[in-house]
Amino acid sequence: MKSILRGFELASGLKINFHKSSIAGVNVQSNNLLCYSKLLNCNQLGISFKYLVLEVGGNPRKKSFWEPILNKLKTRLSVWKGRFLSMEGRMCVIKSVLNAIPLFYLSVFKAPESIYKSIISIQRRFLWGWGKENRPIAWVSWEGLCKPKKEGGLGLKDVRKFNFALLAKWRWRFMSQDKGKWKEVLESKYGVELECPHLPVKYQSWWWRDLVKVCREGGGEGWFHKEVHWKLGRGDKVRFREDVWIGDTSLKSLFQRLYSLSVNQEYKVEDVGVWEGSEWKWRLEWRCDGFEWESELEANLF
């Protein structure tokens, strides 16, 4: 590594400052890491550490992980802002400042319920009278304020739903983007199917578990799966039975008996048929010959 960095210096004219550099090890013994740091003449970096504002190696399920965000929210709110700003002014501060501070963290990590309550408490106290000695009276419920304006609310963001939506963007990118080094890493570790990763739960990262949990929130297949529909192209990505690509329900849900009899339940659409000239012919395989009523189901499926 030191030779590569030295070659980079000779080729580009840019010198590496090892005194400002640090080395961290993942699953590396401490004596080896000490040897590497002395060889490179740089400091050791402990885990967890901050990279691009985010804490790497911390546990987002602990409240201490989110303390810097809560403290930053409180320091942005001075007493005079709560006393002298109008209701409209305080609304602008909440929408433009208080919702923006935790944005980076909420787009990567799932916050615990206690953090949702703490952020909402700070926003609510500021809206109804920040800096007052006594606890201010909330004249309208927070759920009502988070409703859209056309429904009688003020259009404030629900922190919990906002967090879920930001995390679901990773799921959307994982499904819709064809390339990306981050996607290659996830596919090599977990596989291409988000619902059924080939890696046991105990070896999955907290981030991955939270992502799967968020998209399944609400029971059953989850809110995310119900809102996503496939547009059929070549049929090389869409699962024939489990994905919603025709109608509003998956074929697995409509024909559960046929799903249990199918030979390969994970077939893509392109795998269950062939082109004969300019006409597409379905080729479905079953484990055994069906009863007469199952033949009717098959006819309905076609």
> For position 221, what pLDDT does the model report?
65
Top-confidence residue, 248 or 155: 155
Average pLDDT over residues 154-169: 91
Condensed to tens digits (0 to 9), the pLDDT of residues 213-257 reads 888 775 556 788 777 788 888 888 888 888 888 888 888 888 888
Task: Give Cα 6 distance to the centre of its chain.
Answer: 39
* Contact partners, residue 17, CB within 8 Å, separation at least 6: none
Under the banding of pLDDT at 50, 70 and 90, the label for residue 37 is: very high
Which of 113-117, 120-124, 141-145, 226-230 has the largest mean confidence?
113-117
Please give the model's pTM, rounded to 2 decimal places.
Answer: 0.74
CA distance 251 to 244: 8
Q: Is 278 exposed, middle or buried (0-12, 13-18, 19+ CB in 10 A)?
A: exposed
| Phi, then psi, of 110 in degrees rounded to 5 | -90, 125
Average pLDDT over residues 274-279: 88
Tokens of 282: 């379905």
Residue 6 has pLDDT above 80, yes or no: yes
pLDDT at 194: 59
Give yes or no for residue 203 having a pLDDT over 60. yes
